[in-house]
Copies of this chain bind each other. A is one copy, B any other.
Amino acid sequence: MEIDFQKGGGLVPAIIQDELTGDVLMLGFMNPESLAETQRTGEVVFFSRSRNKLWKKGESSGHFLRVRQLLVDCDADALLVRVEAVGPGVCHEGYRSCFFSSIELDGSARIIAEPTFAPEKVYGSEKTR
């Protein structure tokens, strides 16, 4: 299976979905190396666009993402990773999912989820995730 990394400038979006609940937890990007590491280790490794390097999800928090199923779309330019999410949440702001804000009709954002952990206790002063 050839993944089309070219269309996205060397990266493909990778949707992370909780295998049990179906909730979408986050979206990251993968380059060929991070995809290979994800497949080799069975845990999700992204490519961080802001830090320009591989980023193993959970390396700071312990909140690893264990791959249960890896899917690719019809154009081979997007990935869907169904995971077991270790720990109380994937979001560095202390939520189970990074998608905790709804955009309302007037354009404002509204938080629709409850926090599940205290990020300062998990991450300390680090900004990696």
Contacts and interface: CB of A to CB of B under 8 A. Distances in A.
B27 A102 contact: no
A26 B17 CA distance: 13
A72 to B, nearest CB: 5
Tallying the copies of this chain within the complex gives 2
Given A1-B109, A24-B17, A107-B1, A91 B74 contact: yes
A13 B27 contact: yes
Nearest to A35: B103
Nearest to A108: B1
A71 B27 CA distance: 12
A69 B27 CA distance: 17
A71 B7 contact: no
A109 B72 contact: yes
A99 interface: yes
Closest 3 pairs between A and B when the two form their complex, measured CB to CB: A22-B22, A1-B109, A73-B98
